[in-house]
Amino acid sequence: MAGDLFASIEKQRSKKTARELTLIDKGLEIAQVRPEGDDVTFMHSILCQIGLPRSKFDGDRFERKNGSAALEVRAGSIWTGTDMVQQPIPMARSHV
């Protein structure tokens, strides 16, 4: 079945832009190479579509919507052993 998919994609290559061809090549690479060790990750589709803030966020509630998907993150507190300490909204980490 995967062979049929790859053959079908190959037929469409001549109609694609350079950017589209790069995306296709990367998609094929992802489909063909099984991840191992630290390469194994999971990201929920909502986080792929919406994501966390990319810079420091003031406040204790972050909300973002995109189409039919929505994400709400509320900052919590951590018990230090003597006190509850308010924590910030988490930020998206850069993988650069």
The answer to whether the beta carbons of residues 29 and 6 sit under 8 Å apart is no
What is the model's pLDDT at position 92?
Answer: 76
Say if strands 61-66 and 77-79 run parallel, antiparallel, or are unpaired. unpaired
In sign, the C-alpha dihedral spanning 17, 23, 26, 27 is: negative
Measured CA to CA, the distance from residue 77 to residue 74 in angstroms comes to 10
- The dihedrals phi and psi of 65, each to the nearest 5 degrees, come to -130, 145
What is the model's pLDDT at position 87?
Answer: 92
Closest residue by Cα to residue 62 from 32, 44, 87: 87
Measured CA to CA, the distance from residue 55 to residue 77 in angstroms comes to 20
What is the model's pLDDT at position 44?
Answer: 81
Query: pLDDT tens string for the chain (96 positions)?
Result: 556 766 776 776 667 788 888 888 888 888 888 878 887 777 788 888 888 888 888 888 999 998 888 989 999 999 999 999 999 988 877 554
What is the model's pLDDT at position 96?
Answer: 43
